[in-house]
A and B are shown apart, each in its own frame.
Chain A
Amino acid sequence: MLTTKNLECIRGEHRLFSNISFSVNPGELMFVGGPNGSGKTSLLRLLCGLSLPDSGEICWNGTDIRELCGDYRNVMTYLGHLGGIKDDLTAIENLRISSALAGCGIDEDQAADALGQMGLAGREMLPAKVLSQGQRRRVALARLLVTQTKLWILDEPLTALDIAAVDLIKGILEHNLSTGGMVIMTTHQEIAMTAATVHHLTLS
C-alpha cells in the first residue's frame, strides 16, 4: 500500500502543489489529471523517489520510501515519458537491458515473446531509430509484461499509441490490478477500467 501525507512540491519560484494526501491499496488504480504544468510529472517523480518532496512523506506499507531505498525499487516500476529507449539498439536489446537494469534479467526468447505480445513481431531486430513513436512506446511498455513488481508508476503511457495498443495496455493493467497490483498513471485519455477501484487525483 502506498500512502502519502501532505506532499508539497516547490519548483523554483512557485508552489506546484501542496497538501496532497492519498493512499492506493492493492488492486487500485489512480489517475492523476490536471492541465500542463500542474506538476503531474513532478508528483510521479516524488512517488518513485527520484526527487524529494519539500514537505510531507511517502510511505510504502507504512515505512518511508527514503528508508526503504533498494527494497522500494525492487517492488516498483517507473516508466517516464522519455521511455529510456536507445536509438542505436534493437528493440530486443532495449527491452533486455532495461529489464536487467530494473533487476530482472530476461533471456532473448522471453524478450521476443513480450515484444510479440506488444504487436512488434518481426521488428525485434530493428534498431529503435527506424521505429515509429508508437512502436517505440510499445517497446518501452513491453517492460510491464516481464516485470515482477506490483506498483507501477506510469507517466503518460498512452501517448502516441493507437486504439489497438491502448486496448492492449488496458488488458495488461487490468491483469496487474486483478493480481493485487497497484497503478498510478497520468493520462489525457482516460481508459474505462472494469472490475477495479479507480481513484482520481486532479492537480490544478
Chain B
Amino acid sequence: MIWWIIKRDLLLAMRRRSDMLTTLFFFIIVVSLFPLGVGPEANMLRMMASGVVWVAALLASMLSLGRMFSSDYADGTLEQMLLSPVSLSALVMGKTISHWLVTGIPLVLMAPILGIQYDLSVEALVVLTLSLLLGTPVLSLIGAIGAALTLGLRGGGVLVSILVLPLYIPVLIFGTGAVEASTAGMGFGAHFSILGAVLLVSIVFSPWATAASLRISMG
C-alpha cells in the first residue's frame, strides 16, 4: 500500500515537473547568491560552503512542505486516506518517502556541483553529499508534522517555517559539522552516527505524529 502511494505521488510529480524544478532552482540560486554577497575569496568560501549549502537545503525542503498535503486536502483525497482501512501512519510514511525522493534527492545530487563553486576538496564534496543524503530524509519527516498541523490555515506557509525550522537545528549542526570535521582532518564518523540516529528516531515517531496531526486538522 505504501508502494501505491509512492507510485502515485511520483507519477503526479512527473506530470508536474515544474514544481520539482522550482525547489531545485531555488536551492541553486540561494547557494549561488552567497559568494556575490560576501565576496569571492576562496578561503572564506571554503569555510562557509557546508553551512550555506545546508541552510539552503533546509529552506528549499521547507518551501516544498506546503505542497505535501495541500493538494490532497483540496481535492478530497486526504479524506479518503483518513478513511482508508490501511493505517494512516503507513500512508503518511509513503507520502514522506515520495516527498523526499522528489525534493530531497535532487538537492543531494546537485550539492557536489554547487560545492565546486565553493572550491571544496573532493573529500569534502563526498562528505557533504553523504551528510545531505542522511539528513534530508529527516527534513521531510519532521516537516511532514508541520505541514499536517498547518493544513488549510491562512498564512500556513510562513507558519510552517516558524514551527519546523527550530526543529531542523540538530540536523543542520551535525550535517555541517561532518563537513567541517573532514576539512579539519578529523573523523566525521561520529557526526554520521548521530545523523543516522536522528533519522531512525524520526522514522519511528514522525509518521505517527503526522498521522495524529492530520486527524486533528481534518476533524
Contact = CB atoms under 8 A, between A and B. Distances in A.
Interface of A: 48-52, 70, 73-74, 76, 78, 80-89, 93, 97-98, 100-103, 105, 127
19 contacts: A50-B219, A52-B219, A73-B84, A78-B79, A82-B79, A84-B75, A84-B76, A84-B79, A85-B76, A87-B75, A88-B11, A88-B12, A89-B8, A93-B11, A101-B80, A101-B86, A102-B84, A105-B4, A127-B15
A138 to B, nearest CB: 16
Contact of A84 (B12, B77, B85, B86): B77
Given A86-B75, A89-B12, A101 B218 contact: no
Contacts of A85: 75-76
A102 B91 CA distance: 12
Which of B15, B80, B218 has most A Cβ within 10 Å?
B80
Contacts of A51: 218-219
A89 B75 contact: no
A89 B84 CA distance: 20
Chain B contact surface mostly: helix
Contacts of B81: 101
Contact of B75 (A52, A76, A82, A101): A82
A101 B84 contact: yes
Contact of A73 (B8, B75, B85, B219): B85
Interface residues of B, number: 24
Interface string B1-21: 100100010011001100000
A73 B8 CA distance: 22
Contacts, number: 73
A90 to B, nearest CB: 10
Nearest to A140: B76
Contacts of B91: 101
Given A51-B219, A97-B8, A100-B1, A83 B85 contact: no
A43 to B, nearest CB: 15
A106 to B, nearest CB: 12
A52 B12 CA distance: 32
Contacts of A87: 75
Chain A contact surface mostly: loop
A50 B79 contact: yes
A130 B218 CA distance: 29
B83 interface: yes
B12 A86 contact: yes
B4 A101 contact: yes
A84 B83 contact: no
Contacts of B11: 88-89, 93
A49 B79 CA distance: 10
B101 interface: no
Interface in B62-92: 71, 74-77, 79-87, 91
A80 B4 contact: no
Q: Which 8 A-B pairs have the closest CB atoms?
A: A82-B76, A103-B85, A84-B76, A88-B15, A84-B77, A51-B219, A73-B85, A74-B85
Nearest to A49: B83
Contact of B85 (A70, A82, A89, A93): A70
Nearest to A73: B85
Contacts of B71: 86
A50 B218 contact: yes
A40 to B, nearest CB: 15
Contact of B83 (A48, A97, A100): A48
A73 B81 CA distance: 11
Given A83-B75, A101-B80, A88 B218 contact: no
B76 A103 contact: no
A21 B175 CA distance: 58
Contacts of B16: 88
A103 B75 contact: no
A89 B80 CA distance: 16
A100 B4 contact: yes
